[in-house]
Amino acid sequence: MFTFLHKFASPQYFYAWSASWQKWSSILAVLLMSVGLYYSLLNSPADYQQGETVRIMYVHVPAAWLSMFGYMVMASAAIVTLIWRIKVAEIMIGQCAVIGASFTALALITGMLWGKPMWGAYWVWDARLTSELVLLFLYFGVIALSGAFDDERAGARAAAILTVVGIVNIPIIHYSVEWWNTLHQGPTVSKFDSPSAHPSMLIPLLIMALAFKAYFFALLFKRARAELLLRERNTSWVKALLKDTE
C-alpha cells in the first residue's frame, strides 16, 4: 500500500496521470457552469422576498461552500505531508491555500453585493460573513508561512502544521462567531441564508456547487502541475520532458 502510494504520488507519475484529470475536470466545470448559470440566472424564479437579488446566492453560496471545502482538501494534503512527506501533497497545500483564499474572497465580495440591497450596507457583522473573513485570515496565514521559507519543503511542512492546527480550531472559531452573532443581533433584516429548499432554486444551486468544485480541481491540478515543473526543474525527468516538447 505504502509503496503503491509513493509511486502513485511520485512527481513524475503524478504529472502523467494528472493531465487527464485536469482535462476532464475542466470540461466538467465548463459544462456544469453553463447549465448552472442558465438555470440560476435565467430559468429560475425570483425570490418572493429578495427579488432578483437572490441570484447572487447562486454564486455566493457555492463560493462559501467551496471556501470550506478547499480548507478540507488542504488539510488532507497537510496530513499526507506530515505523515508521508510526499512532494505532491506539499505542493497541493500552497495551491489549495491560494485557490481557497480566492473563493473566500469571492464569497465575501458577493456577500457584500447582496448585502447592499438587502441590508442597505455593504458590510454587516453577520455570522457567515464574519466566519468567511476569519477563514480568509487563516488562508492568508498559510500562504504567508509557506512562502516565507527559503526551503520550499520546510515551508510546506510548516504550512501543513498550521493547517492541521487550524482544522482543530475552525469549528471552535465558527461556533464562537455564530454565538457571538446571536447575542449581538444587529440590524439584520432577513436571515442571510441559502435560498429556501424549493427544488426550482435548490437544483440550480447544487449544479453550481458541483461546477465550482470541478473548477476548483481543474485549477488545483493546473497550478500543482505548473508548480511541480518549477520545483523539479533540475531533475532528469523534467529535462527529458522539456526536450520532448522542443
Tell me which residues touch other proteins (CB under 8 A): 82, 134, 137-138, 140-141, 144-145, 148-154, 157-158, 161-162, 164-166, 168-169, 172-173, 175-177, 179-180, 183, 231, 234
Minimum CB–partner distance for residue 105 and other proteins (Å): 16
Minimum CB–partner distance for residue 192 and other proteins (Å): 19
Neighbours of 243 (CB within 10 A): 8
Neighbours of 232 (CB within 10 A): 18
What phi and psi values does residue 120 have, to the nearest 5 degrees? 80, 10
Residue 51, strand partner residues: 47
Q: Phi-psi bin for 89: left (phi > 0), alpha (psi -120 to 50), beta?
A: alpha
The Cα–Cα gap between 246 and 241 comes to 9
187 DSSP assignment: S
Minimum CB–partner distance for residue 132 and other proteins (Å): 12
> Smaller CB distance to other proteins: residue 8 or 140?
140
Q: Is 158 within 8 Å of 145 (Cβ atoms)? A: yes
* Residue 48 burial (C-beta neighbours within 10 Å; 0-12, 13-18, 19+): exposed
Residue 47, strand partner residues: 51
- Taking alpha carbons only, the member of 58, 135, 131 closest to residue 96 is 135
Minimum CB–partner distance for residue 78 and other proteins (Å): 11
> Smaller CB distance to other proteins: residue 8 or 175?
175
> Smaller CB distance to other proteins: residue 153 or 222?
153
> Smaller CB distance to other proteins: residue 47 or 152?
152
> Smaller CB distance to other proteins: residue 143 or 210?
143
Minimum CB–partner distance for residue 181 and other proteins (Å): 10
Minimum CB–partner distance for residue 176 and other proteins (Å): 4
> Smaller CB distance to other proteins: residue 46 or 148?
148
> Smaller CB distance to other proteins: residue 122 or 179?
179
Minimum CB–partner distance for residue 123 and other proteins (Å): 18
b/e map 89-120, b = 16+ CB within 10 Å: bbbbbbbbbbbbbbbbbbbbebbbebbeebbe
